[in-house]
Amino acid sequence: MSTGSVASLIAVSVVVVATLLMGSLGFRLSRTTSDFFVASRTVSPWVNASAIGGEYLSAASFLGIAGLVFTFGADMLWLPVGYTAGYMLLLVLVAAPLRRSGAYTLPDFAQLRFESEFARTVSAVAVLVIGWLYLMPQLRAAGLALSAIVDVPTWMGACLVAVVVVLNVVSGGMRSITFVQAFQYWLKLAAIIIPAILLLLAWRSDGAPLPSTTLADWAVPLSGYGGREHALYQTYSLIVALFFGTMGLPHVLVRFYTNPDGAAARRTTFIVIGFLGVFYLFPPLYGLLGRIYIPDQWPADTVVLALPAALLEGQLVTVAGAILVGGAFAAFLSTASGLAVSVAGVLSHDLFPRRRAPGRLRADRDARLQTDRSTVTRFRWAAVVALIVPLALSLLATRTSIADTVGMAFAMAASTFCPLLLLGIWWRGLSRAGAMAGLISGGVLAGAAAAFTLAFGNPGGWTGALLAQPAAWSMPLSFIVMITVSLLTPASKPRHADPIVYGLHAPEGTLPTKPPATST
């Protein structure tokens, strides 16, 4: 085994050990049911923003964006813009009202808003699909990263990440993961900046070459999407998915439940935009340097890890490579942890609860309750299931790139929870029937497109473009269905819709405390 491989394995080990130690701290502090689900709603904006940055900057951000820029050029510069811009909508339209709802999960919010157990169940299923679709590329990327530094099968890296995440999640739930993710954001930021500085210095000393003039199309936006058909449609559909899908990602939204109040949720979102903006300055740089120094046939998802050996010499290759591998594993662990918590919370709290008072959300005073041992046990088993399913799928679905698979998760979120949240928060006329019809239709359409592409690949032509990037048509259809059906079914408007919507926008503490009646 080479010196570089040994150093990279040491870096991975350090990240894993540090993650487990941070998780053990959360275990000692987790004493209530609310600790496991929402960290007792005591997380400050700066810590929460760091945690959101830690879980949001996934394998697609650390490895995937650079790989797509390397392959497709300037078209892919929309990716970091889209990943960050979605938080503007969250900041203005969703963050504070969602926190004021007092929910633990998105299905909690759906039941409160629509006074329906069926709404809760449908929302829970949508969370599972989005969470598992997003977890797949994280685990697959971990396998690619480990196999790039050590001659081992790709499934070993995926299993390593899955085991570490399960141990962290079952130890302390949301409180444990909050510490881990906040730490890993700053670790990832350092891991992408330090090697970038070394690579830039090497590039300058080499005369600062630019990509070959034969690659002019590579540097021109919307010039062909790397040879893909209907590039203009696919680019704009991806922008729609990223911009509107962010507000529908369960593992991001659940973090706002951990803030003390709506004002803190808004401050958290504002800080997150700055954190993401700093990070996303660097992946396109790696893609550009990869286009100059890495062969065209090189696997795109491992370009970042290959650059130190292509530009640097001596010990700098070992140091930079180890830092990048450690940062990549931090990306896998933090994002997978956030997704596992959100999926496990829905499995244990919404789909298979032992008991739940009908039609009533758990209020913030639950933070003072002693831990229900059966609830925590159910949450821990749910965390295991939350990782096993996407682990199996990640080993089977290898026809699409990491970033493209993440884009499908964003398209699914944009087609389901984006319209549900926007209309549910801002339109009192949204009926129960309309909300469910739109949620189901958007989820089925986007989910079917993703499933076909993952299973059979891109068939080409307009069919392939529409299936690979469905957000541009599936999200508008979901909005149209919700609005149309709501106008046609005014009788199914929830009885308490007006006071509930008022409570989402009014100052803290004015949400109706009387539980509304639940219908099915």
Single-letter code of the amino acid located at 404: D
Residue-wise pLDDT tens digits, 424-462: 999 999 999 999 999 999 999 999 999 898 888 778 888
**C-alpha to C-alpha distance for 214 and 209, rounded to whole angstroms:** 14
- Judge whether 255 and 52 are in contact, CB under 8 Å: yes
Task: Indicate the SS3 state at residue 5.
Answer: helix
- For position 395, what pLDDT does the model report? 79
For residue 116, what are the β-bridge partners? 519
- For position 34, what pLDDT does the model report? 56
- For position 368, what pLDDT does the model report? 38
**C-alpha to C-alpha distance for 174 and 340, rounded to whole angstroms:** 10
- For position 357, what pLDDT does the model report? 42
- For position 472, what pLDDT does the model report? 95
User: Which is nearest to 281 in space by CA: 65, 52, 55?
Assistant: 65
User: Which is nearest to 424 in space by CA: 16, 101, 158?
Assistant: 101
Look-up: residue for tokens 């929302």?
Answer: 123
- For position 514, what pLDDT does the model report? 44
Residue-wise pLDDT tens digits, 353-369: 544 444 444 443 344 33
- For position 228, what pLDDT does the model report? 66
**C-alpha to C-alpha distance for 508 and 266, rounded to whole angstroms:** 13
Q: Which structure tokens are listed for 423?
A: 């209309």
- Domains of the chain and CATH, by start: 3-505 (1.20.1730.10)
**C-alpha to C-alpha distance for 315 and 323, rounded to whole angstroms:** 12
- Judge whether 86 and 244 are in contact, CB under 8 Å: yes
Single pTM value for the model = 0.81
Task: Indicate the SS3 state at residue 514.
Answer: coil
- Over the chain (520 residues), the average pLDDT of each successive run of 10 is 76 83 62 56 82 82 86 81 84 82 80 90 92 86 76 79 80 70 89 95 91 67 62 86 88 76 82 91 92 85 88 89 87 82 80 51 41 68 86 77 81 94 93 95 94 83 89 96 96 88 74 47
- Judge whether 253 and 98 are in contact, CB under 8 Å: yes
- For position 517, what pLDDT does the model report? 47
Buried b (16+ CB within 10 A) or exposed e, 4-19: bbebbbebbeebbebb
CB atoms within 10 A of CB 151: 8
**C-alpha to C-alpha distance for 450 and 234, rounded to whole angstroms:** 14
- Judge whether 87 and 57 are in contact, CB under 8 Å: no
Residue-wise pLDDT tens digits, 317-338: 989 989 998 888 888 788 888 7
